[in-house]
Amino acid sequence: MNIGVVKEIKPEEYRVAVLPQNVSELVRAGHAVTVESGAGAGAGFSNQAYREAGARLAPTAAEVSEASDLLVKVKEPVEEEFEIFRQGQILFCYLHSETRPKLVDMLLERRLTAVAFENVRESDGSFPLLRPMSVIAGQQAVLQGMQFLWNHRGGVGKSLVAYPGLEAPVVVVLGAGEAGRPAARVAAALGCRVHVFEINQRAIRAFAETAPANVQIHNAHVVDVSPYVAAADMVVNTATVPPHSDRHLIDRDLVRRMKKGSVIVDVTANLRGAVETVDRYTTHSDPVWEVDGVIHYAVTNIPGTVARTASRALALEIFPYLRVLADRGIPEAFRRSPALLEGVTAVGGILTWHEAGTFQKRAWMPPHEALERLWPA
């Protein structure tokens, strides 16, 4: 198969999904790989490294696409990229299409087979391609957010690193999933008193077995989160609440009660979802805004700040699935890998991701039904 790797053009995005060593394996397996010049530069992987691995370098994304049946990238395509996609191509990347109607329009009009990293799901319910970025986002949420407690970043001058004899800083983490647990561990390693809120009792028990001693885990159905949030120096949200919800984990009234100068880092960043006052996305160059004296951070590509680590972690997880797509093609890859089928957002002009259909009020059908309609067994 002809595989293409394009350079990310979303602002402040430096990750790359396919590394030179991955290219070597693909080429040895009989595939052709075309890489856009500079695609790996931000993560520390040179054009020369890709060339030595057997890739052909192309100067533009359009030329990469023209030579490719399968395009691999990290972030969802932005509008400036829409024109490079050809009818019937395979697209493998993060998509988060439920809040991006123009992206869905393009996927359907071009009849792309679009497989979303974040929705690839194994039989045990795990999301292996969401995990690595969730872990890094959780870790970095604390490290990035703590800067806005510092004086020179406009903060109140408080360190999130505990000092002997002084009261420990307080961090609240909402959610004990793939991002929440690493966030709690980093905060705990700094010496903070950490309160984690979760609704899944199984997840609570699992984390409790390995959590540091200064992490207390609460069932949010039983323990009211409000007084803990109000007393926190930092709140890290990793819980998923749909955008523009009627109910929030942190509403505007609770924000008003929080300590002035405290920080909310919304890793999930669903607008007006878990946090009512998160009403915008931010960037690494302009990461925060203030509501009622509380600093809000809602950068949507937190792992992009450590692009080399993030790229290596991502490539480690996606490569086995990429090999199935490349080796088997469509539709056989989906028959061989039910996990990949779960990740299909659109195929042959049919929308198959239920959240995009629900949020955008579009017709959709489950991926396995679309597969049978397009390629009857």
74 within 8 A of 93, measured Cβ to Cβ: yes
How far apart (Å, rounded) are the C-alpha atoms in residues 265 and 216?
A: 19
Planar angle of CA 110, 56, 314, nearest 5 degrees: 70
How far apart (Å, rounded) are the C-alpha atoms in residues 324 and 322?
A: 5
Tokens read off for 307: 């692009």
Tell me the backbone φ, ψ of residue 128, rounded to 5 degrees: -65, -25
Establish whether 248 is a catalytic residue: no
Decide: helix, strand or coil at residue 97.
helix
289 within 8 A of 282, measured Cβ to Cβ: yes
Which one, of 60, 100, 103, lies nearest residue 84 by Cα? 60
371 within 8 A of 358, measured Cβ to Cβ: no
HSE (side-chain half, CA atoms, 13 Å) at 271? 7
- 3-state helix/strand/coil string of 18-35: CCHHHHHHHHHCCCEEEE
Query: Cα separations (Å) of 207 from 43, 157, 224?
Result: 32, 32, 20
Strands (E), 73-225: 90-93, 113-116, 170-174, 193-198, 215-219
Place of tokens 């931000």: 42
Out of 31, 96, 218, 248, pick the active-site residue.
96
Residues 6+ apart with CB under 8 A from 286: none
Q: What is the CA radius of gyration of the chain?
A: 22
Residues catalogued as catalytic: 96
